[in-house]
Amino acid sequence: MSARRIFARPARLAAIAPYLWMVLFFLVPFAFVLKISLSQTVIAQPPYTPVFDLTEGREALTAAFAQLSFDNFRLLLHDDLYILSYLRSLVVALTSTLILLLIGYPIACGMARLPQRWQGVAMILVIVPFWTSFLIRIYAWINILQHDGLLNKILLALHIVSAPVVWLSTDSAMYLGIVYSYLPFMILPLYATLSKMDASLLEAANDLGASPRRAFWLVTFPLSLPGVGAGALLCFIPIVGEFVIPDLLAGSDSLMIGQTMWLEFFTNKDWPVASAAAVALLLLLVPPLLLYDRLQRRQLEGNS
Amino acid sequence: MKRLSRCRSTASLRPLSTGGESGLKDVTSSEASVEAAKPLPEPAAPDMPLLRIESVAKSFGNFRAVDQLSLDIRAGEFFALLGPSGCGKTTLLRMLAGFETPDEGRILLGGKDIAPVLPHERPVNMMFQNYALFPHLSVRDNIAFGLKRAGMARADIAARVAEMVALVKLEGMEKRKPDQLSGGQRQRVALARSLARRPQVLLLDEPLAALDKKLRESTQGELMELQRRLGTTFIIVTHDQEEAMTMADRIGVMDAGRLAQVATPRNLYEAPASRWIAEFVGDINLFNGQVMSRDHSRLTVSTSEAGSLTVSELWPPVTKDVVCVAIRPEKVKLSRRAPASDEGGSHGINRLEGVVADVNYLGGVTTYKVRLESGAMVRSSMANTARLDVDAYLAGQRVVAWFTADDCMVLEQ
Amino acid sequence: MAHTVTRITRFNMTSLALGFAFLYLPIVILVIYSFNASRLVTVWGGWSLRWYHEFFNDRAMLEAAWMSVSVGAVSATLATLLGTLAALGLARGERFRGRALFSGMLYSPLVMPEVISGLSLLLLFVALNAERGFWTVTIAHTTLTMCFVTVIVQSRLTSLDRSLEEAAMDLGCDPVRAFLLVTLPLIVPAIVAGWMLAVTLSLDDVVIASFTTGPGSATLPIRIYSEVRLGVKPEINAICTLVIALIAVIIVAASFASKLSSSRGESAAPL
C-alpha cells in the first residue's frame, strides 16, 4: 500500500454519489431514448407505444418487446428532410469550425505573445463573454442585424449599400452567430498550447535560418496541433446539434438536425421519430466524442 | 567490543597517517600489520538499535525499488542514504515515513514493527524535498499543524511553536505565508514543522537540494548543530556525496535497491567495499591486474597499464588473483625526478613515469593528467600550498607520478 | 531586438483588437439600447429607464426570472457538491472498476448537443411519471453543470502538489482530515469558480429547460427566447442588461470570496 492508495479509498467512496447520479440522469435516459426510438407514435400520453409496464406481467412485456421496430430509422433514411438536415448540420459545423480556427488562431497567437501580465487580462477578456448569457449574445446580434439595425445604418451612411440588406434569417447571420458564440471555446485551448510553447524554439528556428513565416509553419503550427484538435472538437461537436442559433438567425427553408428534432418533438409530437433522430445524431458524434474524451483525459490526468 | 569502541573514539582510519616513509610498518609484526591495514570497524551499536530494517523489499510493477535490504540505525545517529537517482533511497525513506508499505520484511522502531502503521500514527516525521509547506497557512500555523493534530493544549502549542521558531531563528516571521519567505526561510519552516512533534526519527528527503551552494554549506552546519543539540535521529537522503560526508555519522550507499556499503565517511572513501563504490564516491585511478606475489600483507600486482605495483592488502584479504588497484588522485604525487628515499622499494613506493597531458587549475587544487607509456592516464591532484606557481608542472613535461603502497587499495573485480 | 520571431507583431495586435471588438461591441450596443426611451429599438430617443420599469411590472417575466434564479442557485449548489466529489474520485481514486465509464459520463455532457441531453432527460421523467417543473429542471441542470464543476476542480486537484497531503498525514492527519484541512482550502478557488460557472450555465440554458420544464413554469431564458423569436423588444434589452449585471455581480463576489479564502498569489481558475 502506498500513500496514494491510502487516499484512494475515501476518494472512491466520495465518488459513489456522483457516480449514481450520472448513471441515473445521464446513462439511463439514453436507454429510454433508444427504446422510444424503436416505438410507434400514438396520440396518447405519453405519445408512444409500447409502454413497458412491469406490473402487467411477463407476457405483456414480451408482447411489448415484439412491438419494437426499426421503422423510425427507416423513415430517417428515406425521408429527404432528415438526410438533408443531417448533411446541413455537418456542413454548417465543419464550415463554422474552419472559420473559428481562422479567426481564433491569430487571436490566440497574439495573446500568447503579449507581455506576461497582459496575458492574464486578455485571458479574462476572452472568458467574460462566455460568462454572459449565450442567448443574450445572440439577441445582441439580432439588435444589430435587423432590417433597420445598426449594421444597415452604418452601411447606408457610408454609401456602401443603397438599400438595407436583409441579414436576419440568412446563413451569414447564422454563421456569424455561431462563430461569435463559440469563439472562446476555440481560443482557450489554442492559447493554452501556444502559451506553453517555449519561445526559444522559435529563436532556435530563426537562428538556424528560418524566416519568421517559415518558423511559424515549421515550428509553431505543428506544435500547436493538439490545441487545434481540442478547439476544433470543442466547437464541432456541439455545433452539429446546435438549435437556438440556427432557429433565431437562419432562415426556415433548410433546417439543422437539432431543429428537426425540436420540430418533431414539440410541434409534431412525434417522440419516437425525434428519439430516432437523437440516436442517429449520437451515432454520428461517437467518433469525435471518443476522440475528445481521450484528449480530455490526457490533459486532465497528465502522465501519472 | 572494546576494540570497536576505541576505534570509534579515535575516528581515524588506520595508524598509517604518517605516510609510507615512517618505516613504522616494517617493524610491526605481521599480526599487527593485518590489524593496521584493516578498515576501521563500524561504530559500536547498542544491543537494540532504535530503528531496525529487516530484509525489506518493495517493487513497483516489475521494478524492484528496494531489494532485501537490512539496516540498523542507532538512536541519536545522523545517517545518510547516498546513491544515484533511482537507487531506491527515496523509496526506503518513504517506507520509513509510512507512505509506502514494504512488500516483504519488517521495520522495527524501538522493537515494534511499524511497517503496517499508517503515516499519521508513526512517531516519525519527514521533511519533504520541496518542503510541502501549506500555502494557505502562516508560518506559525504550519509549525503548529502537527501539534494540533496531536491534541496538545493550546498554551503548550504556543510554547512549542515559539521554541521551534527560536530554534530555526525565524523570530518575527510567524505571521508570514510561505510565499512571502525566501528559499532558505522556507527550508527552516519545514524543518521546524517536522521537528515540532519531537519525532523519534526525522527523515529528510534531499533537504538542501533547493538551496544555492553558499546557503547549502551554511545550512549543513546548522543542521548538524541542531541534530547534536536535540539528539534526534536524523536520516537524510541525498545524491550529493559531499553533503553526506560533511553531515553524516554513517553513510549507507545504495545501488539498485541494495545497500552497497554502510560505513563512516572516512571508511567509505578510504576503504570502499567494491570497485563500484570506489568509483561512485570521489575520484579514483584504477588499474586492472593480477596478483603476482604475497609478502606478509604486501601484494605485488602486475598491471598492463602501470606495470608492477606494490600495495598493502586490506582486511579481509582478497581471495581472487584478478584484482584492481585503486588510488585516489590526491594521493598521487608528482615530481620531476623519482623520490630519493627509495631503499630498494622496501617502503613500497610505486613510480610511474609519464608526460603531463592536461593541467586544470581549480584554485585550491590543481589536477593533472599524466599519460603513461602504456597510454593509460593517471590523475593527480595537488594542493596549491604556495601562491606562486613554483611547483606547477606544464603540459608536455616529463614527470614521475608516485604513491605509496599504503595509499593504494586493492579491490576485487 | 528589432525583429525577433517571438516579438508581438502589428498583425498580432490587429487581430487582438479586432477579436475583442467583435466579442464586446454587440453586448455594449445591447446595454446602451436598453436605456433608449424610444419604442423603436433602432431609433435613439434619449436616455430612459422606461424598459426597466416595464420589466418590473411584468408579472410573468418576474416569475420566470425568479424561477431561473432559484433553479440556478439550487442546481449550481448541488452540482458543485457532486462535481467536487466526482473530481475527488477521479483525481485521487487511482484506478478503479468503472473509472472509464465514470469519466466518460462526466466529460461527454460538456460537448453533448443540448437537444439530446434535454430529450433524454425528458423521456426519463415521463417514464418515471415525475411532475415536470422546478425539480425536473433543477435535476437536469445539475446533471449538465456538475460536469463542468468536475473538470475545473479535477484540474486543480491534479495540479496540486501531492506532497502537501503526505505532509499533512505525516503530521498526524488521517486521509479525511488531510483533505479537509489542507486539500479543501487549496481548491476553494476552483470550487467557487465551478459554482459560478454552474449558475451562469443554468441561467443561460434554453434547450434543456424547454424539454424538462412543465407548463406554467417557464424559466427566464425560455421567456426571452419566445419573445426574441417574435422580434426585438426594448424590454428584452433591459432584461438582458439585468442578467449581465447579475452575472457580473456573481463573478465579482465569487472572485472576492475566493481571494479571501485562498492564499496570496493564487487566482481563481476562470474556466
- Partners of B119 on chain A (C-beta within 8 Å) are 3, 6
* C5 vs A293, more confident: A293
pLDDT at B47: 63
Provide DSSP, B40-105: PPPPP--SS-SEEEEEEEEEETTEEEEEEEEEEE-TT-EEEEE--TTSSHHHHHHHHHTSB--SEE
Query: HEC string of A92-149?
Result: HHHHHHHHHHHHHHHHHHHHHHCCHHHHHHHHHHHHHHHHCCHHHHHHHHHHHHCCCC
B333 near B382, Cβ under 8 Å? yes
- Partners of A2 on chain B (C-beta within 8 Å) are 94, 99-101
**Per-residue buried b or exposed e for A100-128, using 16+ beta carbons within 10 Å of the residue's own CB:** bbebbbbbbbbbbbbeeeeeeebbebbbb
* B38 vs A247, more confident: A247
Identify the three-state secondary structure at position C8: coil
Report the percent of chain B where pLDDT is more than 90. 54
| Look-up of cell digits 513497483 | B60
Residues C118 and C138 in one domain: yes
- What pLDDT, in 10s, does the model give residues A140-150? 888 888 888 88
Looking at every residue in chain A, the average pLDDT score rounds to 83
pLDDT at B1: 38
- pLDDT at residue C118 is higher than 60: yes
Residue C53 forms part of a structural domain: no
pLDDT at B16: 36
Residues C152 and C20 in one domain: no
CA distance A261 to B180: 58
pLDDT at A52: 62
Residues C116 and C238 in one domain: yes
- pLDDT at residue B44 is higher than 90: no
pLDDT at B341: 57
Residues C75 and C167 in one domain: yes
Partner-chain residue, chosen from C12, C225, C232, that has the shortest CB–CB distance to A110: C12
Residue C102 C-alpha, separation from nearest chain B C-alpha, in angstroms: 25
pLDDT at C228: 85
Q: How close are the terminal C-alpha atoms of chain A, in Å? A: 17
pLDDT average, residue stretch C189-209: 90
Residue C17 forms part of a structural domain: yes
- Partners of B164 on chain C (C-beta within 8 Å) are none
Identify the three-state secondary structure at position B302: strand
pLDDT average, residue stretch A39-63: 66
Report how far apart, in Å, the C-alpha atoms of C251 and of each of A217, C79, C193 are.
39, 17, 8
pLDDT at A59: 67
Identify the three-state secondary structure at position B290: strand
- pLDDT at residue A298 is higher than 80: no
Q: Is A90 on the interface with C (CB under 8 A)?
A: no
pLDDT at B31: 39
The DSSP code for B123 is S
Residues C29 and C151 in one domain: no
- pLDDT at residue B318 is higher than 80: no
Per-residue confidence band for B160, with pLDDT thresholds at 50, 70 and 90? very high
Per-residue confidence band for A167, with pLDDT thresholds at 50, 70 and 90? confident
pLDDT at B347: 62
| Look-up of cell digits 412491469 | A54
pLDDT average, residue stretch C179-203: 91
- Partners of C225 on chain A (C-beta within 8 Å) are 135, 244, 248
pLDDT average, residue stretch A274-278: 88
Contact assignment for C171 to B120 by CB distance below 8 Å: yes
**Per-residue buried b or exposed e for B10-35, using 16+ beta carbons within 10 Å of the residue's own CB:** eeebbebeeebeeeebeeeeeeebbe
- pLDDT at residue C129 is higher than 80: yes
Report the percent of chain C where pLDDT is more than 90. 37
Set of cell numbers at residue A288: 469525435
Residue C54 forms part of a structural domain: no
- What pLDDT, in 10s, does the model give residues B47-85? 678 999 999 999 998 899 999 999 999 999 999 999 998
- B403: number of Cβ within 10 Å: 25
- What pLDDT, in 10s, does the model give residues A194-223? 888 877 887 788 788 788 888 888 888 888
Residue C262 C-alpha, separation from nearest chain B C-alpha, in angstroms: 6
pLDDT at A284: 83
Residues C35 and C120 in one domain: no
Residue C44: which domain range?
A: 10-48
Q: Is C192 on the interface with A (CB under 8 A)?
A: no
Provide DSSP, A164-191: ----TTSHHHHHHHHHHHHHHHHHHHHH
Instruction: Give the chains touching A; criterion: ≥3 Cβ pairs < 8 Å.
Output: B, C
pTM: 0.81
* C97 vs A19, more confident: A19
Q: Domains in chain B and their CATH numbers? A: 11-270 (3.40.50.300), 283-412 (2.40.50.140)
- pLDDT at residue A55 is higher than 80: no
Selection from B38, B49, B51, B50 nearest residue B3 by Cα: B38
CA distance B302 to B310: 9
> Which CATH number goes with the domain that contains C132?
1.10.3720.10
Question: Looking at chain A, which residue has its C-alpha nearest residue C30?
Answer: A140
Identify the three-state secondary structure at position B411: strand
Complex ipTM value: 0.86
pLDDT at B326: 92
CA distance C152 to C90: 12
- What pLDDT, in 10s, does the model give residues B279-310? 999 999 999 999 888 877 788 899 988 888 88
How many residues appear in chain B? 413
Residue B351 C-alpha, separation from nearest chain C C-alpha, in angstroms: 55
Query: Which of C7, C28, C111, C177 best probes binding to A when mutated, by most A CB atoms within 10 angstroms?
Result: C111
Selection from B324, B332, B211 nearest residue B273 by Cα: B324
pLDDT at B410: 87
Residue A273 C-alpha, separation from nearest chain C C-alpha, in angstroms: 12
Residues C92 and C15 in one domain: no
Per-residue confidence band for A63, with pLDDT thresholds at 50, 70 and 90? low
For chain C, state the CA radius of gyration: 22
Per-residue confidence band for A92, with pLDDT thresholds at 50, 70 and 90? very high
Selection from B251, B217, B245, B259 nearest residue B92 by Cα: B259
Question: Looking at chain B, which residue has its C-alpha nearest residue C173?
Answer: B120
Torsion sign across C-alpha atoms C8, C11, C15, C18: positive
Partner-chain residue, chosen from C161, C177, C186, that has the shortest CB–CB distance to B136: C186
Residue A109 C-alpha, separation from nearest chain C C-alpha, in angstroms: 7
- Partners of C83 on chain A (C-beta within 8 Å) are 18
* A130 vs B215, more confident: B215
Per-residue confidence band for B10, with pLDDT thresholds at 50, 70 and 90? very low
Set of cell numbers at residue C167: 505532509
Set of cell numbers at residue A227: 490545441
CA distance A25 to B235: 53
- pLDDT at residue A78 is higher than 90: no
Partner-chain residue, chosen from C170, C182, C265, that has the shortest CB–CB distance to B126: C170
Partner-chain residue, chosen from C5, C92, C271, that has the shortest CB–CB distance to A206: C5
pLDDT average, residue stretch C122-126: 91
Contact assignment for C11 to A106 by CB distance below 8 Å: yes
**In Å, how far from its chain's centre is CA C1?**
43
- pLDDT at residue B379 is higher than 60: yes
- pLDDT at residue A45 is higher than 80: no
Selection from B234, B231, B181 nearest residue B210 by Cα: B181
pLDDT average, residue stretch B151-178: 93
pLDDT average, residue stretch B199-221: 90
Q: How many CB pairs under 8 A join A and B?
A: 13
- Partners of C42 on chain A (C-beta within 8 Å) are 146, 148-150, 153
pLDDT at A127: 79
- pLDDT at residue A1 is higher than 70: no
Q: Is A130 on the interface with C (CB under 8 A)?
A: yes
Q: Is C116 on the interface with A (CB under 8 A)?
A: yes
Q: What's the CA dihedral at A167, A170, A173, A179 to 10 degrees? A: -160
CA distance C142 to A21: 10
Residue B360, sorted as left (phi over 0), alpha (psi -120 to 50) or beta, turns out to be: beta
CA distance B130 to B143: 16
pLDDT at A139: 85
Residues C222 and C246 in one domain: yes
Residues C94 and C142 in one domain: yes
Per-residue confidence band for A43, with pLDDT thresholds at 50, 70 and 90? low
Residue C5 forms part of a structural domain: no
* C85 vs B320, more confident: C85
Residues C14 and C129 in one domain: no
Residues C151 and C42 in one domain: no
Q: Which residues contact A260 (CB under 8 A, 6 or more apart)?
A: A81, A82, A85, A277
How many domains does the structure of chain C reveal?
A: 2
CA distance A240 to C116: 11
Residue C194 forms part of a structural domain: yes
Report the percent of chain A where pLDDT is more than 70. 89
Per-residue confidence band for C47, with pLDDT thresholds at 50, 70 and 90? confident
B106 near B113, Cβ under 8 Å? yes
Q: Is C200 on the interface with B (CB under 8 A)?
A: no
pLDDT at C41: 65
Residues C192 and C255 in one domain: yes
Q: Is C129 on the interface with A (CB under 8 A)?
A: no
β-bridge pairing B333-335 and B398-404: antiparallel
Per-residue confidence band for A51, with pLDDT thresholds at 50, 70 and 90? low
Contact assignment for B145 to C262 by CB distance below 8 Å: no
**Element containing residue B400 per DSSP (H, E):** strand B398-404
- What pLDDT, in 10s, does the model give residues B265-276? 999 999 898 899
Contact assignment for A2 to B119 by CB distance below 8 Å: no
Q: Which residues contact B200 (CB under 8 A, 6 or more apart)?
A: B50, B75, B109, B110, B123, B124, B232, B233
Q: Is C174 on the interface with B (CB under 8 A)?
A: yes
- Partners of C238 on chain A (C-beta within 8 Å) are none
Looking at every residue in chain C, the average pLDDT score rounds to 85
pLDDT at C259: 67
Identify the three-state secondary structure at position B124: strand
| Weakest-pLDDT range from A195-209, B185-199, B227-241 | A195-209
